[in-house]
Amino acid sequence: MSAPRRFGVLGTGHWARWCHGAALAAHPDVELVGFWGRDPARAGAAAAEAGGRAFADVDALLAEVDAVSIALPPDVQAPLAVRAARAGRHLLLEKPIALELAAADAVLAATRAAGVASVVDVTYLFQSDITDWLARLEELAAEHGPWEGALVRWGGSIDAPGSPFGDSPWRREHGGLWDAGPHALSVLGRLLPPVERVSAARGVRDAVTVLAEHAGGASSALALTGTAPPGIGGPTAVVWGPGGRHEMPWFTGTPQEGFARAVDDLRAAAATGREHASGAADGRDAVAVLSAVRAHLARPAVQRTTPVPR
């Protein structure tokens, strides 16, 4: 199969224009064919800003592209991803790939049935500062033994003045667990074996702290929020084991540069037929972990916590 060249964007919001559209328009090896959105006027505005044409009908866009990049709420993304895969289009997906495990399973099944490639835009894993750090940690683990534990804190701040994410209904409803959680799990998944069991506690606003048990015995804690107070957003990840204790660096690239690498990776996956490590299967596994946390949090307090005697 050849590498996809003609890309269409599903979505007309901030991320669709500012990241997907801008990165695709600047990419030397692909063509930005255009945007589809539920509001044709916004699709027109996105195309005027980033490039390509506006499509009023999603199937009309699918007919003219080799791949779609999707920047829509996760529950809107999942069925459209299935539709695009069934039409034979490669998928550049956003995190989380869905809000329900059944929907994530359907996306994965559709990609495999159609034989299309998929990559999830997990920002940190397409930044060289982070991938260099992860590569060094992999070498240390190979030399000294596997990592034993990690603390990961991921705090977005959708209430920060001027945030482009403040009016996003799904972020308000599902919180940092589903918005920041996929980023945290993307990094954690490169450090420790798969998560097998979770428990969790609620904090202020949407804060959730997850305790995770990993295959083989390692454990981790993830503190997640999408409503961090001003000035204290951002990620922290610390991992330890026989190879020492290590803290994740900040990345210095731009989201558009990272997205361009995701485009390159999708093209390579399509050309080789090899599933990408951050493809739909990995996205599906992240949804499985987040769904398990949500199920745990839905239990009555007496079933998920032990009161401290006074």
* Positions in the binding site for ligand NAP (CB under 6 A): 11-16, 37-39, 42, 71-74, 76, 94-95, 121, 123, 165, 168, 170
Q: Which long-range contacts (CB under 8 A, 24 or more apart) does 52-59 make?
A: 52/8, 52/9, 52/21, 52/25, 55/8, 58/10, 58/83, 59/87
Cβ proximity to ligand NAP, 126 vs 147, nearer residue: 126
Q: Rounded to the nearest whole angstrom, what is the least distance from the CB of residue 218 to ligand NAP in the complex?
A: 26
Q: Rounded to the nearest whole angstrom, what is the least distance from the CB of residue 272 to ligand NAP in the complex?
A: 24
Q: Rounded to the nearest whole angstrom, what is the least distance from the CB of residue 172 to ligand NAP in the complex?
A: 9
Cβ proximity to ligand NAP, 38 vs 274, nearer residue: 38
Cβ proximity to ligand NAP, 152 vs 218, nearer residue: 152
Cβ proximity to ligand NAP, 210 vs 286, nearer residue: 286
Cβ proximity to ligand NAP, 147 vs 154, nearer residue: 154
Cβ proximity to ligand NAP, 71 vs 270, nearer residue: 71
By beta-carbon distance, which residue lies closest to ligand NAP? 13
Q: Rounded to the nearest whole angstrom, what is the least distance from the CB of residue 95 to ligand NAP in the complex?
A: 5
Q: Rounded to the nearest whole angstrom, what is the least distance from the CB of residue 34 to ligand NAP in the complex?
A: 14
Q: Rounded to the nearest whole angstrom, what is the least distance from the CB of residue 266 to ligand NAP in the complex?
A: 14
